[in-house]
């Protein structure tokens, strides 16, 4: 239900943002990555699964999914607030924006106006890179914005390939179709590119 490769991809955006900073405090980087793993990897997907048209939510009741979402979101908010109040006040407006998108996107508030590929790429691609940079520096610069656009682009490609891929997988015989194979290759390539970028920057920072 948490789509682990994509959740790891989302946390990697935080690593990329942190590793773009002129100096890196690894405890903050790991802590902010944990915030996103909890908030997006668990809470957002649990809220998304509460919708009746999400087949992967059938094995848990709406009440169980809600408690699972809250159980991950509360510590994520507490940890994010700690970093904002202690080290990086700029995380406060960014965190409020991310909380809004988490609820508006996954629960399809405002008639689903924010449940689009564009807002997905902004909230789960662009902003996590900025969060990683801000937790290190409490600033935003051109380097972090460029990194944010890398996050935006890769997240946009991922969601545009993911939707038809999931639809085809649910169709009879769709799992073995050539289109499904191409979409799966795109998804693997996007996830690999993000993880590779994070690993490259991590190795570079270590030396």
The least confident of 119-128, 163-172, 195-204 is 163-172
Dihedral of alpha carbons 102, 115, 150, 162, sign: positive
Please tell me the predicted confidence (pLDDT) of residue 162. 85
Digit-coded pLDDT (tens) for 87-133? 999 999 999 999 999 999 988 888 889 989 999 999 999 999 999 99
Mean pLDDT, the chain, integer = 89
**pLDDT at position 56 over 60:** no
pLDDT at 30 over 80: yes
pLDDT band, residue 200 (cuts 50/70/90): confident
Q: How confident is the model at residue 173 (pLDDT cuts 50, 70, 90)?
A: low
Q: Where are the domains of the chain?
A: 4-206
Higher pLDDT, 51 or 8: 8
To the nearest 10°, report the CA torsion of 19, 21, 24, 29: -60
Q: Is it the case that residue 182 has pLDDT exceeding 70?
A: yes
Q: What does the pLDDT read at residue 63?
A: 86
pLDDT at 3: 66
- Closest by alpha carbon to 6, among 166, 178, 205? 166
CB-based contact 95:80 (threshold 8 Å):
yes
Please compute the mean of the pLDDT values over residues 1-6 and round it to a whole number: 67
Residue 172 has a pLDDT of 63
**Is the per-residue pLDDT at 25 higher than 70?**
yes
- In contact, 144 and 130? CB cutoff 8 Å: yes
- 72 torsion bin: left (phi>0), alpha (psi -120 to 50), beta (else): alpha
Q: And the tokens for 47?
A: 């809220």
Does 197 have pLDDT greater than 60? yes
- Mean pLDDT across the stretch 155-173? 82
Predicted confidence band of residue 1 (pLDDT cuts 50, 70, 90): low
Output the furthest CA–CA distance in the chain (Å, rounded). Answer: 54
- Average pLDDT of 182-188? 88
Residue whose token pair is 């409020």: 96
**Model pLDDT, residue 7:** 85
Whole-angstrom Cα distance, residue 189 to residue 105?
25
Number of CB atoms found within 10 A of residue 15's CB: 27
């Amino acid at each position: 239900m948490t789509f682990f490769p994509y959740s790891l991809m989302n946390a990697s955006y935080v690593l990329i943002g942190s590793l773009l900073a002129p100096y890196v405090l690894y405890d903050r980087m790991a802590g902010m990555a944990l915030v996103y793993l909890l908030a997006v990897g668990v809470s957002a997907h649990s809220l998304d699964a509460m919708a009746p048209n999400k087949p992967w939510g059938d094995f848990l009741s709406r009440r169980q999914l809600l408690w699972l979402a809250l159980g991950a979101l509360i510590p994520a908010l507490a940890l994010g607030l700690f970093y904002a109040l202690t080290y990086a006040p700029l995380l406060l407006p960014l965190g409020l924006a991310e909380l809004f998108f988490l609820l508006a996107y996954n629960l399809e508030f405002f008639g689903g106006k924010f449940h689009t590929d564009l807002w997905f790429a902004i909230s789960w691609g662009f902003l996590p890179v900025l969060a990683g940079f801000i937790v290190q520096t409490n600033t935003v610069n051109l380097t972090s914005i460029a990194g944010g656009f890398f996050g935006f682009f890769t997240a946009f490609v991922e969601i545009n390939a993911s939707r038809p891929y999931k639809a085809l997988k649910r169709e009879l015989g769709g799992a073995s179709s050539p289109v499904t194979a191409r979409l799966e290759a795109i998804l693997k390539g996007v996830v690999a590119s993000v993880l590779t970028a994070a690993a490259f920057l991590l190795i570079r920072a270590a030396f």
